[in-house]
Amino acid sequence: MRLKSNTIFITGGGSGIGRGLAEAFHKLGNKVIIAGRRRGHLDAVVAANPGMAALELDIADPASINRTAKKLIKEHPDVNVLINNAGIMQPDRAAGKMDDALLLATIDTNLIGPIRMTSALIEHLKAKDSAVVAYTSSVLGFVPLALTAVYSSTKAALHSYALSQRFMLRDTKVRVLEIVPPWVRTELMNSEEAEQAMPLNQFIAEAIGVLGTDANEIVVAAAKTLRDNAGPTEHGFVDAFNAQMLSLFREPQAVAGIGQMATSIEPEIQSGV
């Protein structure tokens, strides 16, 4: 995608990967508008980046999506890039009774929300040059983490949707991209201090480099092994991956901030943008 001279709308831009992308694009000279539920987080990002703008948005609420889309187009008619980044990640109980509120919140936020947001802006984007719709999925969409089965499933579904939408928009001005992060040091699952996770600034720098190419999938080096796993041997790979991760989660000192999840895996423990 073009890295400069865009007007970029990023959901979940108040923290984590969303904020990292917003600040990187801002430094490159783009007009950046961030959106999210937490006004305080949005205000902090805008204050730290003069010239950036913010809109409140609840990605799980269709009325909020429609309202925000109309306001965005009215106030920033040149918007030509949408980055669907907002998401939540919660431990769940695939081996037992699933918490229904957790289930619906995760699907609404991670899958239905991005589809609705894109739907609300797609006709506008079709009329713009160098238009882009990007989705932040995850390597867990290719190799699911059993402790977060619903989250992993939403990311797999988002990948599938991006493939279909890319095909359907093949004769338009709109490119459909998928950003595929590995484990990154963000608020999700209290991973800011996790040594095994990729530093956020390193991920952003590498991702921006790949975004500047013709790639449809933005896969940094640390994500390639998991992204490329799909195939006839994937079941053994997934089992081995989850056995390794479960052993980490059983040793709180090995993964700073996530040890509590290892032993309790309570649905109410959550973090998102």
pLDDT of residue 267: 33
pLDDT of residue 251: 59
Residue listed under structure tokens 């700073």:
256
Classify residue 197 by its DSSP letter.
Answer: S
Please check whether the domain covering 7-272 is classified as CATH 3.40.50.2300.
no
Residue listed under structure tokens 């092994």:
225
Cα distance between residue 15 and residue 27, in whole Å = 17
pLDDT of residue 242: 83
Helices (H), 55-138: 62-75, 100-107, 113-126
pLDDT digits (tens, 9 = 90+) for 107-125: 999 999 999 999 999 999 9
Q: Collect the ranges in the chain with pLDDT lower than 50.
A: 253-273
> Which residues are catalytic, by number?
151
pLDDT of residue 49: 98
pLDDT of residue 12: 96
In the chain, what are the domain boundaries? 7-272
pLDDT of residue 230: 73
